[in-house]
Amino acid sequence: MSNDNLTITGYRISAATYNSFFAVYLRRNLLRLPRFLWTCAYTLLLMLITASMHHFKVDVWDIITMSIFSFVTIYVLIPFGAYFVGIIQFTTGKMPKVSHALSITEEAVTKSSPLAIVTVPWSALHAVDQSKRTIFFFTNRSCAIMIPKSAFASQQAAQDFLSAAKAYWQQARV
pLDDT of residue 56: 58
Q: In sequence order, which ranges of 26-154 are alpha helices (DSSP H)?
A: 33-53, 60-72, 78-92
Phi, psi for 132 (deg, rounded to 5): -65, -35
pLDDT of residue 168: 93
Distance between CA atoms of residues 27 and 106, nearest Å: 28
Query: Percent of the chain having pLDDT more than 70?
Result: 87
- For domain 7-13+95-173, the CATH class is mainly beta
In which band, very low, low, confident or very high, does the pLDDT at 71 lie, cut at 50, 70 and 90?
confident
In which band, very low, low, confident or very high, does the pLDDT at 1 lie, cut at 50, 70 and 90?
very low
pLDDT of residue 160: 92
pLDDT of residue 8: 78
pLDDT in tens, 21-62: 777 877 777 667 777 787 778 777 776 776 666 655 667 777
Q: Which residue has the higher pLDDT, 153 or 93?
A: 153
User: Could you tell me if 31 and 37 are in contact, meaning their C-beta atoms sit under 8 angstroms apart?
Assistant: no
Distance between CA atoms of residues 106 and 146, nearest Å: 19
Mean pLDDT of the chain: 80
Question: Residue range 142-162: average pLDDT?
Answer: 89
Q: Which residue has the higher pLDDT, 45 or 94?
A: 45
Question: Residue range 100-113: average pLDDT?
Answer: 89
Q: Which residues of 53-85 are buried (b: 16+ CB within 10 A; e: fewer)?
A: eeeeeeeeeebeebbeebeeebbeeeeeeebee
Whether residue 7 has pLDDT greater than 90: no
pLDDT of residue 54: 60
pLDDT of residue 39: 74
pLDDT of residue 51: 61
